Amino acid sequence: MLRTLYDYFWWERLWLPVNLTWADLEDRDGRVYAKASDLYITLPLALLFLIIRYFFELYVATPLAALLNVKEKTRLRAPPNATLEHFYLTSGKQPKQSGLSGRQVERWFRRRRNQDRPSLLKKFREASWRFTFYLIAFIAGMAVIVDKPWFYDMKKVWEGYPVQSTVPSQYWYYMIELSFYWSLLFSIASDVKRKDFKEQIIHHVATIILISFSWFANYIRAGTLIMALHDSSDYLLESAKMFNYAGWKNTCNNIFIVFAIVFIITRLVILPFWILHCTLVYPLELYPAFFGYYFFNSMMGVLQLLHIFWAYLILRMAHKFITGKELLHSPYRVTSSSGENFKLWGERREKKPSSKEDALCIQWLHSSKAVPCLPHCPPRSCSPK
């Protein structure tokens, strides 16, 4: 059974053009070709990335945060209360009593939620780690492709495909990029949990699949162009986050404008009119379409749709920058190609309970006849049951 599935998965007609087999891509005469087995090294490399990240955040990001005056905020802890704690964690059974007044319950929930919020220093560390990687990856990616003929002539991307040998620089560029996304997937549970937690997981998994596919199907020339193109704007977004967390609003805004320009040029101009045209049109001049061709370009189409959506949000924010409109409570968020959300301004100070906290307080208070409603309860929400 497993052998049959294995044979179907690696059937040449799925991944290679007609009249070509995997035997044509075996190493010979000093020429080295991409193989699926090469990808095994990315798992131990991902673990190595996690170790490097730990020491980077400890010995580089933390001193940098202190230099930029990013400090941990002192947060008052909620006093121990088994009844409220159980309700907070489960939001299930209603407590019968707690011995607290309405205002004390409100204060307890506010402090308890603040305990679960990630610190500004933790966010700064994560942003600085991603900024460092994306910047180095972009520089390395340009070094890998800038001297290649297909960087200047897109038709050469498919010259001789799929019998195209690889060079060590392409190998390591792919392995490092793929290992980094594996490390992001491994660490996502311990990283700052954002509202798009599920979307981040989907994005990381999709990225890993696409990079892996482009490697063993020998879409390497196109793959290196696409990865370098995406890294060209991601490090700008992460640097804007860093200055945002440090409170350097003007610097953050200026970098964000530069990021918006680079994003629009790379994702809405170069990617569809050069890269997508290259992967859609030029291959058909050499061989008939096959499953790998359709699969790769379908994923690229989905990616392009996401870029259009993100560009819409970016342009709205950039317009408000230019017109000088206040964005302190703006609900709009920008997502980078790594799936990370970026709130334009600093974290909102929790002087009042959030809407979720309001719901918890109201739900609990309404379950107890001895406790009056809070001042911030919605109108008519406290009508007798």
> pLDDT (tens digit, 9 = 90+) per residue, 79-94?
665 655 655 556 533 3
Q: Say if residue 306 is exposed, middle or buried (CB neighbours under 10 Å; 0-12, 13-18, 19+).
A: middle
CA distances from 321 to 42, 218, 225, 241, 344 (A): 41, 43, 32, 16, 10
Helix 120-145 with 220-246: angle, nearest 10 deg: 150
Tokens of 21: 């087999």
Helices then strands (H, E): number in the chain? 14, 2
Q: Say if residue 216 is exposed, middle or buried (CB neighbours under 10 Å; 0-12, 13-18, 19+).
A: buried
pLDDT tens profile 156-184: 999 888 888 889 999 999 999 999 999 99
Rounded to two decimals, what is the model's pTM?
Answer: 0.74
pLDDT tens profile 239-290: 999 998 888 888 988 999 899 999 999 999 999 999 999 999 999 988 888 8
CA 99 to CA 141: how far, in whole Å?
62
CA distances from 113 to 15, 78, 89, 196, 352 (A): 50, 9, 11, 19, 12
Alpha helices in 162-290 (DSSP H): 168-187, 197-216, 220-246, 249-265, 277-280
For residues 221-251, one letter each, b for 16 or more C-beta atoms within 10 angstroms of the residue's C-beta and e for the rest, the string is bbbbbbbbbbbbbbbbbbbbbbbbbbebeee
CA 381 to CA 385: how far, in whole Å?
10
* Cα-based angle 72, 75, 77 (whole degrees, multiple of 5): 140
pLDDT in tens, the chain (385 residues): 777 887 777 787 788 888 788 887 788 877 888 888 899 999 999 999 999 999 999 999 999 998 888 876 655 566 665 655 655 556 533 333 455 555 555 655 565 555 556 678 888 988 999 999 999 999 999 999 999 999 999 989 998 888 888 899 999 999 999 999 999 988 887 776 666 567 677 778 878 988 998 998 889 999 999 999 989 999 999 999 999 888 888 898 899 989 999 999 999 999 999 999 999 999 998 888 888 889 889 888 888 888 888 888 888 887 776 776 644 334 334 445 444 454 444 333 344 444 554 555 555 455 544 444 444 444 444 444 3
